[in-house]
């Protein structure tokens, strides 16, 4: 297991345990939260981030809040469960995974409540079980992605691997997606040197990926995004692995800005380029990458991002959040189900239909 798990829970007394990602990498601060207000604030202020991690935090959060004191009655407990669910749902109103996790916890609560003679303690045990299941299912999915990704490496040599942005444990229950093969391989005695592009403008690669890989005991080196060509030319990179925001039906992959350039450089230097993502990332309604609209973000992220202005205040700035990598540049996609080599529309469809 990676040592940096961004969200866990403790019992007796029950508390939600979060690594405050807004303090990284300057400070490694774990928060022990047991009030609804504190948990709401942590989700809202991005102290926990990444769809899977947010869902897990909300599920554990419901359990922790409901276990703070015995209720006067089961009715009062039920009311509080509904109120908590609505309250947490407002913490990040656009986070699909948040609602999904809260709904699942509410359903489990309702199911337990139907049972004859159920006690508050028994309901709490069931909620702990459900939130733990959400955590463990995410972990199993990441681990499966890692297992499939790891098949392109071997133990008989040392591997240089480049990654971009943070598709790591900090966004999930611990293994991440792009980083899952590296964490898993490291546990099994594979040897990796990871090169983490800093990923302008928000620097997730240096702030988060370099932090979590080093904590996990992996060898990691930070570089600026524009240094990728040289480090590839020098023969230091044997593979590139990135995550994905959305994958079109033909395999074209939207991911953090800079990814498409890395794929082109990798091809020029004859280095395999891999995408790692759960099958839920595929959007079969989007036939082609050109159909994906690129989000433009605020100019201050680029010219005022370090607490100091680094470009003329009235400058025009181009700040797209992601780009789309053509499937022709992708050597393979790793999912929890297996590997899609040289993705095409037929191969993607077949992979997703496989049980």
Among positions 154, 320, 341, 346, the unique one binding its own copies when judged by CB under 8 A: 320
Among positions 264, 339, 345, 352, the unique one binding its own copies when judged by CB under 8 A: 264
Show contacts with its own copies in window 81-110 (CB under 8 A). Answer: none
d(CA 160, CA 31): 35
Intra-chain end-to-end CA distance of the chain, in Å: 27
Closest distance between its own copies and the C-beta of residue 295, in Å? 12
Structure tokens at 153: 């490496």
Which candidate, 256, 241, 259, places its Cα nearest to that of 177?
A: 241
Closest distance between its own copies and the C-beta of residue 27, in Å? 10
By CB under 8 A, is residue 189 in contact with its own copies? no
CA torsion sign for 180, 182, 185, 186 is: negative
Closer residue to its own copies (CB): 38 or 317: 317
Site string for its own copies, 286-305 (x = CB under 8 A): --------x-------xx-x
Which candidate, 262, 270, 293, 285, places its Cα nearest to that of 348?
A: 285
DSSP annotation of 295 reads: P
DSSP annotation string for 85-104: HHHHHTTSTT-HHHHHHHHH
By CB under 8 A, is residue 46 in contact with its own copies? no
Show contacts with its own copies in window 116-135 (CB under 8 A). Answer: none
Instruction: With beta carbons less than 8 A apart as the criterion, state whether 246 and 319 touch.
Output: no
Go through 217-251 and write b for each residue having 16 or more CB atoms within 10 A of its CB, e for each that does not.
ebebebbebeebeebbeeeebbbbbbbbbbbbbbb
Closer residue to its own copies (CB): 13 or 311: 311
**In this chain, which stretch among 38-46, 102-110, 135-143, 220-228 interacts with its own copies, using CB under 8 A?**
220-228
For the question of residue 245 being annotated catalytic, the response is yes
Among positions 46, 118, 133, 315, the unique one binding its own copies when judged by CB under 8 A: 315
By CB under 8 A, is residue 272 in contact with its own copies? no
Closest distance between its own copies and the C-beta of residue 263, in Å? 8
The helix/strand/coil state of 303 is helix
Can you give the C-alpha Rg of the chain in angstroms? 21
Structure tokens at 218: 């992996």
Considering the candidates 245, 298, 314, 326, report the single residue annotated as catalytic.
245
Site string for its own copies, 227-246 (x = CB under 8 A): xxxxx-x-------------
By CB under 8 A, is residue 191 in contact with its own copies? no
Closest distance between its own copies and the C-beta of residue 259, in Å? 8
d(CA 54, CA 143): 19
Binding site for its own copies (CB under 8 A): 25-26, 195, 197-201, 203, 206-207, 210-211, 214, 219-231, 233, 257-258, 260-261, 264-265, 267-268, 294, 302-303, 305-320, 323
> What residues are labeled active site?
245
């Amino acid at each position: 297991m990676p040592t940096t798990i961004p969200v866990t829970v403790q019992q007796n007394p029950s508390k939600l345990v979060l690594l405050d990602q807004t303090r990284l990498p300057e400070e490694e601060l774990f928060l022990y939260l047991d009030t609804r207000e504190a948990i709401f604030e942590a989700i809202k202020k991005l102290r926990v981030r990444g769809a899977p991690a947010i869902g897990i935090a909300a599920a554990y959060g419901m359990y922790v809040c409901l276990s703070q004191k015995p209720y006067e009655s089961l009715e009062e407990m039920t009311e509080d469960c509904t109120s908590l669910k609505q309250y947490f749902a407002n913490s990040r109103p656009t986070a699909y995974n948040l609602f999904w996790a809260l709904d699942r916890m509410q359903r489990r609560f309702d199911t337990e409540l139907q049972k004859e003679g159920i006690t508050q303690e028994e309901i709490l045990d069931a909620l702990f079980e459900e939130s733990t299941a959400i955590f463990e299912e995410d972990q199993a999915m990441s681990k499966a992605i890692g297992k499939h990704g790891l098949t392109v490496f071997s133990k008989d040599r040392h591997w240089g691997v480049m990654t971009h942005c943070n598709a790591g444990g900090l966004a999930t229950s611990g293994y991440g997606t792009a980083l899952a093969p590296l964490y898993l391989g490291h546990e099994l005695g594979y040897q990796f040197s990871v090169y983490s592009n800093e990923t302008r403008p928000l620097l997730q690669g240096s702030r988060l990926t370099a932090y979590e890989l080093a904590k996990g005991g992996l060898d990691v080196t930070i570089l600026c995004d524009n240094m990728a060509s040289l480090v590839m030319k020098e023969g230091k990179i044997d593979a590139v692995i990135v995550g994905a925001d959305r994958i079109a039906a033909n395999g074209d992959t939207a991911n953090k800005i800079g990814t498409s350039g890395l794929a082109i450089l990798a091809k020029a230097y004859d280095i395999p380029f891999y995408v790692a993502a759960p099958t839920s990332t595929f959007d079969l309604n989007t036939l082609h990458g050109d159909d994906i609209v690129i989000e433009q973000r605020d100019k201050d992220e680029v010219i005022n991002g370090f607490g100091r202005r680094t470009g003329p205040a009235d400058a025009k700035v181009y700040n797209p959040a992601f780009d789309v990598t053509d499937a022709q540049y992708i050597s393979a996609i790793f999912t929890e189900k297996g590997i899609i080599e040289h993705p095409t529309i037929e191969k993607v469809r077949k992979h997703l239909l496989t049980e």
